[in-house]
Amino acid sequence: MDFTNLKNRKKDLLDFLKNNGYSDGRYEHVRATINWILNNNNPDWRSYDDVLVARLDAVSKSCVRDARSLVNTVYRFDVLGLMPAGNSQTSLLVKPLDCFYRHIDSQYKNLVDSYKHIALSFGTPEKTIGSDVSVLSGFLNFIESRGIYCLSEVSESIILDYFLIGNKGTSYSESCQSQLKRCFKRLESSNVEIKRLLTILPSIKFKRKNKQYLSEDEMDAIKNVLDDPNSALTYRDRSLGLLLVHTWLRRIDIVNLTFDDIDWDKEILSIVTSKTDVHTKQKMSVKVLNALWDYIENERPKSDEKFIFLTHYPPHRHINPYVLNNVFNLIFNLAEIRKKNGDKRGCHLSRHYGASMALSKGVPRHIISNAVAHSSPKSLDSYLHADLVHLKGCALSIENFPIISEVYHD
């Protein structure tokens, strides 16, 4: 790749960061990323996709998200001539899986394009199509790496290798298999070989891992932290935590809240969710509304941004969903719960707790589905595993069976 433009103009980007309120840390990280790219220029790099893959391989797992953001910043400046937008929600234009499609043979690209066209005609959501295209492109890239440029040469052993060994971004999972199956079913009518591949896709048994769900005592501890005015939480973090606990919204929908989404007089929250495009409306508690008002009046930076939640430090911009992970981690620390290595933490725990508790109290499934903005009531099936009240009702009595004393004693 030719990085002459980046080498000659890198000072413009760094000066922009310095003069527009970006932190010293961000400035140094961007500078270090530029220097890494210039010092490690590989003749095999054909695009910033390759740069990104190489950079992610060079950093630790904990730095992957930041590294992706930094490479994207340099890409936007070098290739598109764009300075940082000051908005962490800007879509990443460089994505690791994109390079699969760019590097596969033209006939395989035509196959992927055909799937996109057919899926759109069936009304498949664009996000689903994008995910399917990534998996399909990854599969085609894998078989191409084995020297196979014709689907008729794909054997069952090659397919098994794909699932067992895989490629970057793929994994041996039910999700990957189901996505490939969906793609093949859409394409089978136009390609005989695709129909054959459908018959040799492995049947992958779905495995559900035991999850460390929140207990009532843990939720009480979380609520105590949120209700304590003397806790270490800022106004913003307290309102974010209360929204997580009381609305059961996904983190992406919470950070995307705008002033227009809330009817302050009627105390109604009304949004179209990002993941499922489902419209949900719910009554907001006075506690949550008061917390939001405290943040807006006392702490939110002065800004014309339509989004409610902004970063603490300049340039003040729309926060990204990962901020909620940090907030929930802080709440867990203050509540002194889940402190052991390997203990499950995460925003989804609150959402899962709320839906599970509603199920245990006999709330109809369609009402819960509407509250959590699921596109199908079947999506609640996974929550049934935590409905201990009704699960205990399914237990069989063993009172008529003799039990030896060793069962209860060492």
pLDDT tens digits for range 380-407? 666 666 555 555 666 777 777 777 767 6
pLDDT greater than 60 at residue 96: no
Most confident residue range from 22-26, 173-177, 371-375? 22-26
Predicted pLDDT at 408: 63
Kindly state the average pLDDT of the residues 363-370.
Answer: 78
Cβ atoms of 10 and 34 within 8 Å: the answer is yes
Q: How far is CA 254 from CA 223, 312, 360, in A?
A: 18, 17, 26
What's the chain's length in residues? 410
Q: Which residue has the higher pLDDT, 193 or 355?
A: 193
Q: Which residue has the higher pLDDT, 50 or 309?
A: 309
pLDDT greater than 90 at residue 338: yes
Predicted pLDDT at 191: 85
Q: Which residues pair with 281 in a beta bridge?
A: 270
Which segments within 104-222 are labelled E, that is strand?
A: none
At 92, the pLDDT band (50, 70, 90 cuts) reads very low
Q: Work out the number of other CB atoms within 10 angstroms of the CB of residue 93.
A: 13
Predicted pLDDT at 28: 95
Predicted pLDDT at 97: 47
pLDDT greater than 70 at residue 369: yes
Q: 304-337: buried (b, 16+ CB within 10 Å) or exposed (e) per residue?
A: ebebbbbbeeebbbbbbbebbeebbebbbebbeb
Q: Which residue has the higher pLDDT, 50 or 39?
A: 39
At 89, the pLDDT band (50, 70, 90 cuts) reads very low
At 88, the pLDDT band (50, 70, 90 cuts) reads very low
Kindly state the average pLDDT of the residues 359-377.
Answer: 76
Predicted pLDDT at 363: 80
Predicted pLDDT at 183: 93
Q: What is the pLDDT of residues 274-308, one digit of tens each?
A: 877 888 899 999 999 999 999 999 999 999 899 99
Kindly state the average pLDDT of the residues 360-387.
Answer: 71
Q: Which residue has the higher pLDDT, 53 or 249?
A: 249
Q: Which residue has the higher pLDDT, 45 or 369?
A: 45
Out of 103-112, 166-175, 191-200, least confident range: 166-175
Predicted pLDDT at 207: 63
Q: What is the pLDDT of residues 237-287, one digit of tens each?
A: 999 999 999 998 999 999 999 999 999 999 999 999 887 788 889 999 999
Q: How far is CA 354 from CA 39, 159, 228, 310, 357, in A?
A: 51, 41, 21, 26, 5
Kindly state the average pLDDT of the residues 156-178.
Answer: 71
Out of 8-17, 34-43, 53-62, 87-96, least confident range: 87-96
Predicted pLDDT at 209: 65
d(CA 163, CA 112): 19
Residue 408, token pair as written in the block = 């209860």
Predicted pLDDT at 401: 76
